Structure 1
Amino acid sequence: METVIETKNLTKSYGKNRGIIDVNIKVNKGEIFGFLGPNGAGKSTTIRTLLDIIRPTSGSATIFGLDCHKDAVAIHWRLSYVPGDVNLYGNMTGKKFLEYFGSVRGSYDEDEAKKYAEKFDVNLNRKLKEYSKGNRQKVALIQAFMNDPDLLILDEPTSGLDPLIQQTFLEVIREEASNGRTVFMSSHVLSEVEKVCDRVAIIKEGKIVAQESIGDLKKKSGSVLAVKFSEEVRPESFKIDGIAGVSRLNGSYRMTVTGNIRKVLKEISDHDVESIAIQPMNLEDIFMQYYAGGK
Protein backbone atom coordinates (compact mmCIF):
# COMPACT_ATOMS: atom_id res chain seq x y z
CA MET A 1 0.00 0.00 0.00
CA GLU A 2 1.39 3.40 -0.99
CA THR A 3 2.33 5.68 1.91
CA VAL A 4 1.40 9.34 1.48
CA ILE A 5 2.38 10.83 4.87
CA GLU A 6 5.01 9.40 7.19
CA THR A 7 6.74 10.86 10.22
CA LYS A 8 9.57 9.23 12.15
CA ASN A 9 10.26 10.43 15.70
CA LEU A 10 9.11 13.91 14.67
CA THR A 11 9.89 16.34 17.47
CA LYS A 12 9.39 20.08 17.84
CA SER A 13 10.49 21.89 21.01
CA TYR A 14 9.71 25.50 21.93
CA GLY A 15 12.47 26.14 24.47
CA LYS A 16 11.08 25.09 27.84
CA ASN A 17 7.61 24.63 26.38
CA ARG A 18 6.45 21.29 25.02
CA GLY A 19 5.64 20.92 21.35
CA ILE A 20 5.52 17.38 19.95
CA ILE A 21 7.70 14.43 20.96
CA ASP A 22 8.68 11.45 18.78
CA VAL A 23 5.51 11.56 16.68
CA ASN A 24 5.26 8.53 14.38
CA ILE A 25 2.30 8.43 12.02
CA LYS A 26 1.69 6.78 8.66
CA VAL A 27 -1.17 7.64 6.30
CA ASN A 28 -1.89 5.54 3.22
CA LYS A 29 -3.16 6.58 -0.20
CA GLY A 30 -6.94 6.88 -0.43
CA GLU A 31 -7.32 6.87 3.34
CA ILE A 32 -9.36 9.27 5.46
CA PHE A 33 -7.21 9.69 8.54
CA GLY A 34 -8.41 11.45 11.69
CA PHE A 35 -5.99 13.31 13.95
CA LEU A 36 -7.49 13.80 17.40
CA GLY A 37 -6.58 15.74 20.51
CA PRO A 38 -7.75 18.80 22.48
CA ASN A 39 -6.30 22.28 22.05
CA GLY A 40 -2.63 22.30 22.96
CA ALA A 41 -2.07 18.58 22.43
CA GLY A 42 0.15 19.09 19.38
CA LYS A 43 -2.18 18.73 16.40
CA SER A 44 -1.45 22.11 14.81
CA THR A 45 2.28 21.83 15.50
CA THR A 46 2.35 18.49 13.68
CA ILE A 47 0.39 19.88 10.72
CA ARG A 48 2.55 23.01 10.46
CA THR A 49 5.67 20.87 10.50
CA LEU A 50 4.29 18.69 7.71
CA LEU A 51 3.62 21.84 5.68
CA ASP A 52 7.11 23.26 6.41
CA ILE A 53 5.58 26.29 8.10
CA ILE A 54 7.78 25.46 11.07
CA ARG A 55 10.87 23.27 11.18
CA PRO A 56 11.27 20.20 13.41
CA THR A 57 13.83 20.05 16.19
CA SER A 58 14.57 16.44 15.25
CA GLY A 59 13.09 13.49 13.41
CA SER A 60 11.75 13.46 9.86
CA ALA A 61 8.56 13.91 7.86
CA THR A 62 7.78 12.95 4.28
CA ILE A 63 4.79 13.44 1.99
CA PHE A 64 4.61 11.46 -1.27
CA GLY A 65 8.01 10.07 -0.27
CA LEU A 66 9.49 13.60 -0.45
CA ASP A 67 11.16 15.45 2.41
CA CYS A 68 8.72 17.99 3.87
CA HIS A 69 11.42 20.67 4.11
CA LYS A 70 13.75 20.05 1.18
CA ASP A 71 10.93 19.27 -1.26
CA ALA A 72 8.25 21.58 0.15
CA VAL A 73 7.48 23.31 -3.16
CA ALA A 74 6.97 20.05 -5.06
CA ILE A 75 4.79 18.72 -2.23
CA HIS A 76 2.64 21.86 -2.03
CA TRP A 77 1.73 21.62 -5.73
CA ARG A 78 0.02 18.32 -4.97
CA LEU A 79 -1.92 19.14 -1.80
CA SER A 80 -4.58 21.50 -0.50
CA TYR A 81 -4.73 22.85 3.03
CA VAL A 82 -7.50 24.42 5.10
CA PRO A 83 -6.19 25.95 8.36
CA GLY A 84 -8.12 25.98 11.59
CA ASP A 85 -8.25 29.80 11.59
CA VAL A 86 -9.39 30.77 8.09
CA ASN A 87 -8.61 34.40 7.22
CA LEU A 88 -9.79 35.53 3.78
CA TYR A 89 -9.38 38.76 1.78
CA GLY A 90 -12.48 40.69 2.86
CA ASN A 91 -12.82 43.04 -0.13
CA MET A 92 -12.82 40.21 -2.68
CA THR A 93 -15.97 38.36 -3.66
CA GLY A 94 -15.95 34.63 -3.13
CA LYS A 95 -15.61 34.15 -6.88
CA LYS A 96 -12.64 36.54 -7.19
CA PHE A 97 -10.95 34.87 -4.24
CA LEU A 98 -11.22 31.44 -5.90
CA GLU A 99 -10.03 32.85 -9.23
CA TYR A 100 -7.02 34.39 -7.48
CA PHE A 101 -6.04 31.13 -5.76
CA GLY A 102 -6.58 29.26 -8.99
CA SER A 103 -4.22 31.62 -10.81
CA VAL A 104 -1.58 31.14 -8.11
CA ARG A 105 -1.71 27.40 -8.76
CA GLY A 106 -1.63 27.93 -12.52
CA SER A 107 -5.23 27.16 -13.46
CA TYR A 108 -8.80 27.88 -12.42
CA ASP A 109 -11.71 25.63 -13.32
CA GLU A 110 -14.86 27.72 -12.92
CA ASP A 111 -17.14 24.72 -13.40
CA GLU A 112 -15.44 22.89 -10.51
CA ALA A 113 -15.81 25.95 -8.29
CA LYS A 114 -19.51 26.22 -9.17
CA LYS A 115 -20.01 22.51 -8.51
CA TYR A 116 -18.71 22.77 -4.96
CA ALA A 117 -20.47 26.10 -4.37
CA GLU A 118 -23.76 24.35 -5.17
CA LYS A 119 -22.90 21.44 -2.89
CA PHE A 120 -22.08 23.78 0.01
CA ASP A 121 -24.91 26.21 -0.79
CA VAL A 122 -22.91 29.44 -0.87
CA ASN A 123 -23.29 32.56 -3.02
CA LEU A 124 -19.87 33.45 -4.49
CA ASN A 125 -20.91 36.89 -5.70
CA ARG A 126 -20.86 38.59 -2.28
CA LYS A 127 -17.78 40.17 -0.69
CA LEU A 128 -16.04 37.92 1.80
CA LYS A 129 -16.28 40.51 4.60
CA GLU A 130 -20.06 40.17 4.35
CA TYR A 131 -19.94 36.39 4.87
CA SER A 132 -20.74 34.61 8.10
CA LYS A 133 -18.02 32.41 9.64
CA GLY A 134 -19.74 29.35 8.15
CA ASN A 135 -19.79 30.81 4.64
CA ARG A 136 -16.13 31.81 4.88
CA GLN A 137 -15.36 28.23 5.84
CA LYS A 138 -17.30 27.00 2.82
CA VAL A 139 -15.22 29.16 0.48
CA ALA A 140 -12.01 27.83 2.07
CA LEU A 141 -13.22 24.27 1.50
CA ILE A 142 -14.14 25.02 -2.14
CA GLN A 143 -10.62 26.40 -2.65
CA ALA A 144 -9.21 23.12 -1.30
CA PHE A 145 -11.43 20.74 -3.26
CA MET A 146 -11.51 22.54 -6.62
CA ASN A 147 -7.76 22.11 -7.22
CA ASP A 148 -8.03 18.34 -7.68
CA PRO A 149 -5.30 17.64 -5.07
CA ASP A 150 -3.71 14.29 -4.30
CA LEU A 151 -3.81 15.12 -0.57
CA LEU A 152 -6.15 17.24 1.54
CA ILE A 153 -4.90 18.46 4.93
CA LEU A 154 -7.86 19.86 6.85
CA ASP A 155 -7.59 21.43 10.32
CA GLU A 156 -11.04 21.60 11.96
CA PRO A 157 -12.75 21.67 8.53
CA THR A 158 -16.36 21.85 9.74
CA SER A 159 -15.84 24.77 12.13
CA GLY A 160 -18.83 27.10 11.79
CA LEU A 161 -20.79 24.84 9.42
CA ASP A 162 -24.41 24.00 10.17
CA PRO A 163 -25.35 20.31 10.59
CA LEU A 164 -26.71 19.91 7.04
CA ILE A 165 -23.53 21.28 5.46
CA GLN A 166 -21.43 19.17 7.84
CA GLN A 167 -23.18 16.13 6.40
CA THR A 168 -22.52 17.38 2.86
CA PHE A 169 -18.86 17.83 3.76
CA LEU A 170 -18.62 14.21 4.94
CA GLU A 171 -20.20 13.01 1.69
CA VAL A 172 -17.72 15.08 -0.33
CA ILE A 173 -14.62 13.71 1.41
CA ARG A 174 -15.92 10.16 1.06
CA GLU A 175 -16.23 10.83 -2.65
CA GLU A 176 -12.74 12.35 -2.77
CA ALA A 177 -11.26 9.30 -1.04
CA SER A 178 -13.12 6.91 -3.36
CA ASN A 179 -11.37 8.70 -6.24
CA GLY A 180 -7.97 7.90 -4.73
CA ARG A 181 -7.34 11.14 -2.84
CA THR A 182 -5.99 11.06 0.68
CA VAL A 183 -7.55 13.07 3.50
CA PHE A 184 -5.76 14.01 6.74
CA MET A 185 -8.10 15.87 9.07
CA SER A 186 -8.08 17.07 12.64
CA SER A 187 -11.42 17.61 14.30
CA HIS A 188 -13.04 18.18 17.68
CA VAL A 189 -16.30 16.69 16.36
CA LEU A 190 -15.66 13.05 17.22
CA SER A 191 -19.00 11.84 15.89
CA GLU A 192 -18.11 12.99 12.36
CA VAL A 193 -14.64 11.45 12.61
CA GLU A 194 -16.22 8.15 13.61
CA LYS A 195 -18.59 8.28 10.63
CA VAL A 196 -16.00 8.96 7.95
CA CYS A 197 -12.43 8.08 9.01
CA ASP A 198 -10.71 4.78 8.26
CA ARG A 199 -8.06 5.20 10.95
CA VAL A 200 -7.26 7.71 13.67
CA ALA A 201 -4.30 8.83 15.73
CA ILE A 202 -4.81 10.29 19.20
CA ILE A 203 -2.20 12.76 20.42
CA LYS A 204 -1.83 13.55 24.13
CA GLU A 205 0.68 16.03 25.55
CA GLY A 206 2.63 15.97 22.30
CA LYS A 207 2.86 12.17 22.03
CA ILE A 208 0.87 9.68 19.96
CA VAL A 209 -0.98 7.40 22.39
CA ALA A 210 -3.04 5.44 19.85
CA GLN A 211 -3.03 4.87 16.09
CA GLU A 212 -5.43 2.27 14.74
CA SER A 213 -8.60 1.70 12.78
CA ILE A 214 -11.70 2.81 14.65
CA GLY A 215 -12.95 -0.79 14.62
CA ASP A 216 -9.79 -2.07 16.30
CA LEU A 217 -9.88 0.72 18.87
CA LYS A 218 -13.44 -0.25 19.78
CA LYS A 219 -12.54 -3.92 20.17
CA LYS A 220 -9.68 -3.08 22.52
CA SER A 221 -11.53 -0.47 24.53
CA GLY A 222 -14.43 -2.58 25.76
CA SER A 223 -18.10 -1.79 26.23
CA VAL A 224 -20.28 0.75 27.99
CA LEU A 225 -22.54 -0.71 30.67
CA ALA A 226 -25.56 1.22 31.96
CA VAL A 227 -27.33 -0.32 34.95
CA LYS A 228 -30.15 0.79 37.25
CA PHE A 229 -30.73 -0.90 40.57
CA SER A 230 -33.93 -1.37 42.55
CA GLU A 231 -31.98 -0.88 45.77
CA GLU A 232 -29.41 1.58 47.02
CA VAL A 233 -25.95 0.60 45.79
CA ARG A 234 -22.81 2.42 46.89
CA PRO A 235 -20.17 3.42 44.30
CA GLU A 236 -17.58 1.35 46.19
CA SER A 237 -19.44 -1.74 44.95
CA PHE A 238 -17.91 -1.18 41.49
CA LYS A 239 -14.28 -1.49 42.56
CA ILE A 240 -14.01 -4.57 40.36
CA ASP A 241 -11.21 -5.55 37.99
CA GLY A 242 -12.25 -4.60 34.45
CA ILE A 243 -14.50 -1.69 35.43
CA ALA A 244 -13.49 1.96 35.03
CA GLY A 245 -15.01 5.41 34.57
CA VAL A 246 -17.98 4.84 36.88
CA SER A 247 -20.48 7.71 36.96
CA ARG A 248 -23.93 8.09 38.50
CA LEU A 249 -26.94 9.99 37.15
CA ASN A 250 -30.55 9.86 38.41
CA GLY A 251 -30.05 6.55 40.17
CA SER A 252 -28.37 4.85 37.21
CA TYR A 253 -24.72 3.93 36.92
CA ARG A 254 -22.68 4.14 33.74
CA MET A 255 -19.29 2.47 33.48
CA THR A 256 -16.70 1.19 31.03
CA VAL A 257 -16.07 -2.55 31.00
CA THR A 258 -12.67 -3.56 29.67
CA GLY A 259 -12.37 -6.93 31.42
CA ASN A 260 -14.40 -10.13 31.23
CA ILE A 261 -17.96 -8.86 30.96
CA ARG A 262 -19.46 -12.14 32.23
CA LYS A 263 -17.48 -11.78 35.44
CA VAL A 264 -18.59 -8.17 35.79
CA LEU A 265 -22.25 -9.09 35.23
CA LYS A 266 -21.97 -11.84 37.81
CA GLU A 267 -20.66 -9.36 40.39
CA ILE A 268 -23.40 -6.85 39.59
CA SER A 269 -26.13 -9.50 39.82
CA ASP A 270 -25.49 -9.77 43.57
CA HIS A 271 -27.64 -6.63 43.72
CA ASP A 272 -31.27 -6.19 42.68
CA VAL A 273 -31.03 -4.99 39.08
CA GLU A 274 -33.95 -3.07 37.55
CA SER A 275 -32.52 -2.60 34.05
CA ILE A 276 -29.26 -3.07 32.22
CA ALA A 277 -27.91 -2.11 28.79
CA ILE A 278 -24.61 -2.95 27.10
CA GLN A 279 -23.33 -1.15 24.03
CA PRO A 280 -20.00 -0.79 22.19
CA MET A 281 -17.91 2.24 23.01
CA ASN A 282 -18.12 5.10 20.53
CA LEU A 283 -15.12 7.20 19.58
CA GLU A 284 -15.96 9.85 22.17
CA ASP A 285 -15.95 7.21 24.93
CA ILE A 286 -12.57 5.94 23.72
CA PHE A 287 -11.15 9.46 23.50
CA MET A 288 -12.23 10.19 27.08
CA GLN A 289 -10.56 6.96 28.22
CA TYR A 290 -7.25 8.35 27.02
CA TYR A 291 -7.79 11.81 28.46
CA ALA A 292 -10.08 11.72 31.48
CA GLY A 293 -8.94 8.21 32.39
CA GLY A 294 -5.24 9.04 32.18
CA LYS A 295 -4.54 6.17 29.82
Structure 2
Amino acid sequence: MVNIRSLDPSASPLDFYGSELRRLREEAGLSQQQLGDVVYCTGSLIGQIETAKKVPTRRFSEQLDAALMTGGLFTRMIGLVLKSQLPTWFQPYADMEARATYISTYQSQLVYGLLQTADYARAVLSVDNPERLDELVAARIERQRVLEREHPPVVCVVLDEAVLYRKIGSAEIMRRQLAHLLSFKDHPWVQVQILPFESGQHPGLLGSFTVLRFDDDPDLFYVPVYGGGHMTADQQVIRERSVGYARLQATALSREDSAALIERVMEERYGHQPGPEVA
Protein backbone atom coordinates (compact mmCIF):
# COMPACT_ATOMS: atom_id res chain seq x y z
CA MET A 1 0.00 0.00 0.00
CA VAL A 2 1.29 3.49 -0.82
CA ASN A 3 2.28 5.41 2.27
CA ILE A 4 0.71 8.89 2.21
CA ARG A 5 1.82 10.10 5.63
CA SER A 6 1.73 13.88 5.75
CA LEU A 7 5.08 15.61 6.01
CA ASP A 8 6.03 18.98 7.39
CA PRO A 9 8.73 20.07 4.90
CA SER A 10 10.12 22.51 7.47
CA ALA A 11 10.63 19.84 10.14
CA SER A 12 14.05 18.74 8.90
CA PRO A 13 16.18 18.53 5.76
CA LEU A 14 15.11 14.89 5.46
CA ASP A 15 11.42 15.82 5.56
CA PHE A 16 11.97 18.54 2.95
CA TYR A 17 13.80 16.07 0.71
CA GLY A 18 10.93 13.58 1.04
CA SER A 19 8.23 16.14 0.32
CA GLU A 20 10.08 17.38 -2.78
CA LEU A 21 10.54 13.84 -4.02
CA ARG A 22 6.82 13.14 -3.65
CA ARG A 23 5.85 16.42 -5.31
CA LEU A 24 8.12 15.97 -8.32
CA ARG A 25 7.26 12.30 -8.71
CA GLU A 26 3.55 13.08 -8.77
CA GLU A 27 4.10 15.95 -11.20
CA ALA A 28 5.86 13.47 -13.49
CA GLY A 29 2.84 11.16 -13.29
CA LEU A 30 4.85 8.28 -11.83
CA SER A 31 3.89 5.84 -9.12
CA GLN A 32 6.44 4.94 -6.47
CA GLN A 33 7.02 1.59 -8.19
CA GLN A 34 7.42 3.20 -11.61
CA LEU A 35 10.03 5.64 -10.30
CA GLY A 36 11.73 2.79 -8.45
CA ASP A 37 12.02 0.87 -11.70
CA VAL A 38 13.73 3.85 -13.32
CA VAL A 39 16.30 4.37 -10.55
CA TYR A 40 16.82 0.66 -9.86
CA CYS A 41 15.23 0.35 -6.44
CA THR A 42 11.93 -0.82 -4.97
CA GLY A 43 8.79 1.26 -4.82
CA SER A 44 8.85 0.59 -1.08
CA LEU A 45 12.19 2.40 -0.78
CA ILE A 46 10.79 5.39 -2.67
CA GLY A 47 7.89 5.45 -0.20
CA GLN A 48 10.19 5.23 2.81
CA ILE A 49 12.28 8.15 1.57
CA GLU A 50 9.18 10.21 0.73
CA THR A 51 7.95 9.72 4.30
CA ALA A 52 11.36 10.46 5.87
CA LYS A 53 11.70 6.93 7.21
CA LYS A 54 14.83 6.20 5.18
CA VAL A 55 17.84 8.40 4.48
CA PRO A 56 18.77 8.65 0.78
CA THR A 57 22.30 8.25 -0.53
CA ARG A 58 24.24 10.57 -2.83
CA ARG A 59 24.09 8.02 -5.66
CA PHE A 60 20.31 7.69 -5.26
CA SER A 61 20.02 11.49 -5.38
CA GLU A 62 22.02 11.68 -8.60
CA GLN A 63 19.80 9.00 -10.13
CA LEU A 64 16.68 10.93 -9.08
CA ASP A 65 17.97 14.10 -10.70
CA ALA A 66 18.54 12.25 -13.96
CA ALA A 67 15.19 10.45 -13.87
CA LEU A 68 13.08 13.48 -12.94
CA MET A 69 15.25 16.05 -14.77
CA THR A 70 15.45 18.30 -11.72
CA GLY A 71 18.61 20.17 -12.66
CA GLY A 72 20.57 18.71 -9.76
CA LEU A 73 18.06 19.57 -7.00
CA PHE A 74 18.44 16.35 -5.00
CA THR A 75 22.21 16.24 -5.42
CA ARG A 76 22.37 19.74 -3.94
CA MET A 77 20.10 18.77 -1.05
CA ILE A 78 21.79 15.52 -0.09
CA GLY A 79 24.75 17.16 1.65
CA LEU A 80 22.44 19.00 4.02
CA VAL A 81 20.34 15.87 4.57
CA LEU A 82 23.36 13.76 5.48
CA LYS A 83 24.86 16.44 7.71
CA SER A 84 21.59 16.55 9.64
CA GLN A 85 22.13 12.87 10.53
CA LEU A 86 25.25 13.71 12.53
CA PRO A 87 24.79 13.92 16.30
CA THR A 88 23.53 17.38 17.26
CA TRP A 89 26.56 18.06 19.45
CA PHE A 90 28.92 17.22 16.56
CA GLN A 91 27.29 19.35 13.86
CA PRO A 92 28.96 22.65 14.88
CA TYR A 93 32.37 21.01 14.60
CA ALA A 94 31.49 19.44 11.23
CA ASP A 95 30.47 22.89 9.96
CA MET A 96 33.80 24.38 11.05
CA GLU A 97 35.79 21.43 9.70
CA ALA A 98 34.16 21.92 6.28
CA ARG A 99 35.22 25.59 6.27
CA ALA A 100 38.76 25.14 7.57
CA THR A 101 41.74 25.76 5.35
CA TYR A 102 44.22 23.96 7.64
CA ILE A 103 43.40 20.96 9.86
CA SER A 104 45.94 19.66 12.39
CA THR A 105 44.84 16.63 14.37
CA TYR A 106 46.34 14.12 16.79
CA GLN A 107 44.42 10.86 17.20
CA SER A 108 45.26 8.48 20.01
CA GLN A 109 42.62 5.78 19.49
CA LEU A 110 41.20 5.80 15.96
CA VAL A 111 41.91 6.89 12.41
CA TYR A 112 40.72 10.47 11.87
CA GLY A 113 37.20 10.58 10.44
CA LEU A 114 38.22 12.24 7.17
CA LEU A 115 40.55 9.31 6.43
CA GLN A 116 38.32 6.40 7.49
CA THR A 117 37.05 3.81 5.04
CA ALA A 118 33.31 3.09 5.07
CA ASP A 119 33.82 -0.36 6.62
CA TYR A 120 36.09 1.00 9.35
CA ALA A 121 33.59 3.77 10.11
CA ARG A 122 30.76 1.24 10.22
CA ALA A 123 32.64 -0.89 12.76
CA VAL A 124 33.39 2.15 14.93
CA LEU A 125 29.87 3.57 14.81
CA SER A 126 28.18 0.21 15.41
CA VAL A 127 29.34 0.24 19.04
CA ASP A 128 26.89 2.93 20.19
CA ASN A 129 24.53 3.47 17.24
CA PRO A 130 23.48 0.14 15.69
CA GLU A 131 19.95 1.37 14.94
CA ARG A 132 21.13 4.33 12.80
CA LEU A 133 24.25 2.79 11.35
CA ASP A 134 23.61 3.35 7.64
CA GLU A 135 22.75 7.01 8.17
CA LEU A 136 25.77 7.74 10.35
CA VAL A 137 28.21 5.99 8.03
CA ALA A 138 26.81 7.92 5.05
CA ALA A 139 27.16 11.17 7.01
CA ARG A 140 30.77 10.40 7.92
CA ILE A 141 31.70 9.57 4.33
CA GLU A 142 29.95 12.75 3.20
CA ARG A 143 32.31 14.75 5.45
CA GLN A 144 35.22 13.42 3.42
CA ARG A 145 34.05 15.25 0.30
CA VAL A 146 35.93 18.26 1.67
CA LEU A 147 39.12 16.52 0.44
CA GLU A 148 37.73 16.52 -3.11
CA ARG A 149 37.12 20.26 -3.33
CA GLU A 150 38.90 22.33 -5.92
CA HIS A 151 40.78 23.97 -3.05
CA PRO A 152 40.85 21.35 -0.28
CA PRO A 153 42.19 22.06 3.20
CA VAL A 154 45.70 21.10 4.22
CA VAL A 155 45.24 18.12 6.55
CA CYS A 156 48.05 17.06 8.90
CA VAL A 157 47.33 13.90 10.87
CA VAL A 158 49.45 12.40 13.63
CA LEU A 159 48.25 8.93 14.64
CA ASP A 160 49.46 7.10 17.72
CA GLU A 161 51.05 3.80 16.72
CA ALA A 162 48.36 2.06 18.81
CA VAL A 163 45.81 3.05 16.15
CA LEU A 164 47.51 0.69 13.70
CA TYR A 165 47.31 -2.27 16.08
CA ARG A 166 43.80 -1.79 17.44
CA LYS A 167 41.72 -4.19 15.36
CA ILE A 168 38.51 -2.42 14.40
CA GLY A 169 35.99 -4.75 12.81
CA SER A 170 38.20 -7.46 11.33
CA ALA A 171 41.68 -8.07 9.99
CA GLU A 172 40.45 -7.46 6.43
CA ILE A 173 38.80 -4.18 7.40
CA MET A 174 42.02 -3.08 9.05
CA ARG A 175 44.09 -4.14 6.06
CA ARG A 176 41.94 -2.03 3.74
CA GLN A 177 42.02 0.87 6.20
CA LEU A 178 45.80 0.85 6.39
CA ALA A 179 46.00 0.56 2.61
CA HIS A 180 43.77 3.63 2.44
CA LEU A 181 46.16 5.52 4.72
CA LEU A 182 49.01 4.54 2.41
CA SER A 183 47.13 6.01 -0.53
CA PHE A 184 47.83 9.46 0.95
CA LYS A 185 51.59 8.91 0.94
CA ASP A 186 52.13 11.32 -1.96
CA HIS A 187 48.98 13.40 -1.56
CA PRO A 188 49.77 17.11 -1.98
CA TRP A 189 47.48 18.30 0.82
CA VAL A 190 47.27 15.37 3.26
CA GLN A 191 50.14 14.32 5.52
CA VAL A 192 50.00 11.24 7.74
CA GLN A 193 52.60 10.66 10.46
CA ILE A 194 52.81 7.92 13.07
CA LEU A 195 53.85 8.66 16.65
CA PRO A 196 55.80 5.51 17.65
CA PHE A 197 55.50 3.74 20.99
CA GLU A 198 59.13 4.52 21.72
CA SER A 199 58.30 8.25 21.95
CA GLY A 200 57.39 7.78 25.61
CA GLN A 201 55.71 10.77 27.22
CA HIS A 202 54.46 13.37 24.74
CA PRO A 203 52.05 16.35 24.47
CA GLY A 204 49.18 14.12 23.32
CA LEU A 205 48.97 11.99 26.45
CA LEU A 206 45.75 13.71 27.52
CA GLY A 207 44.02 12.46 24.38
CA SER A 208 43.00 13.33 20.83
CA PHE A 209 42.56 16.93 19.73
CA THR A 210 42.24 19.02 16.57
CA VAL A 211 43.19 22.58 15.68
CA LEU A 212 41.29 24.23 12.81
CA ARG A 213 42.62 27.29 11.00
CA PHE A 214 40.68 29.60 8.69
CA ASP A 215 41.45 32.32 6.18
CA ASP A 216 39.32 34.99 7.83
CA ASP A 217 38.22 33.64 11.23
CA PRO A 218 39.96 32.85 14.53
CA ASP A 219 41.53 29.43 14.99
CA LEU A 220 39.51 26.80 16.85
CA PHE A 221 40.58 24.03 19.20
CA TYR A 222 38.40 20.92 19.44
CA VAL A 223 38.64 17.99 21.81
CA PRO A 224 36.21 15.04 21.81
CA VAL A 225 34.72 13.92 25.11
CA TYR A 226 32.47 10.94 25.79
CA GLY A 227 29.05 11.69 24.36
CA GLY A 228 30.05 15.13 23.11
CA GLY A 229 32.86 17.48 22.26
CA HIS A 230 34.33 20.81 23.36
CA MET A 231 35.31 23.60 20.95
CA THR A 232 36.94 26.89 21.86
CA ALA A 233 38.61 29.91 20.24
CA ASP A 234 40.49 30.84 23.42
CA GLN A 235 43.82 32.17 22.15
CA GLN A 236 45.86 30.85 25.07
CA VAL A 237 44.48 27.36 24.50
CA ILE A 238 45.18 27.63 20.77
CA ARG A 239 48.73 28.81 21.48
CA GLU A 240 49.46 25.94 23.88
CA ARG A 241 47.91 23.26 21.69
CA SER A 242 49.59 24.54 18.53
CA VAL A 243 52.98 24.31 20.23
CA GLY A 244 52.06 20.85 21.53
CA TYR A 245 51.09 19.75 18.05
CA ALA A 246 54.34 21.04 16.58
CA ARG A 247 56.20 18.93 19.15
CA LEU A 248 54.12 15.88 18.24
CA GLN A 249 54.98 16.34 14.57
CA ALA A 250 58.66 16.71 15.43
CA THR A 251 58.59 13.55 17.54
CA ALA A 252 56.57 11.49 15.05
CA LEU A 253 58.12 9.48 12.26
CA SER A 254 58.67 11.22 8.94
CA ARG A 255 56.04 10.86 6.25
CA GLU A 256 58.14 8.22 4.49
CA ASP A 257 59.02 6.26 7.64
CA SER A 258 55.39 6.42 8.74
CA ALA A 259 54.28 4.88 5.44
CA ALA A 260 56.88 2.15 5.86
CA LEU A 261 55.57 1.34 9.34
CA ILE A 262 51.96 1.31 8.17
CA GLU A 263 52.87 -1.07 5.36
CA ARG A 264 54.80 -3.36 7.70
CA VAL A 265 51.93 -3.57 10.20
CA MET A 266 49.43 -4.09 7.38
CA GLU A 267 51.37 -7.10 6.08
CA GLU A 268 52.58 -8.61 9.36
CA ARG A 269 49.44 -8.15 11.44
CA TYR A 270 46.62 -8.05 8.89
CA GLY A 271 48.08 -9.94 5.93
CA HIS A 272 46.45 -13.06 4.54
CA GLN A 273 46.07 -15.69 7.25
CA PRO A 274 45.22 -19.28 6.30
CA GLY A 275 42.19 -20.79 8.00
CA PRO A 276 39.28 -19.05 9.76
CA GLU A 277 39.89 -15.76 11.46
CA VAL A 278 39.79 -15.84 15.26
CA ALA A 279 37.84 -12.96 16.78
For normalisation by structure 2, the TM-score amounts to: 0.27
Higher percent of residues as strand: 1
Greater relative CO (CA pairs within 8 A, separation 6+): 1
For normalisation by structure 1, the TM-score amounts to: 0.25
Q: Highest Rg: 1 or 2?
A: 1
Higher percent of residues as helix: 2
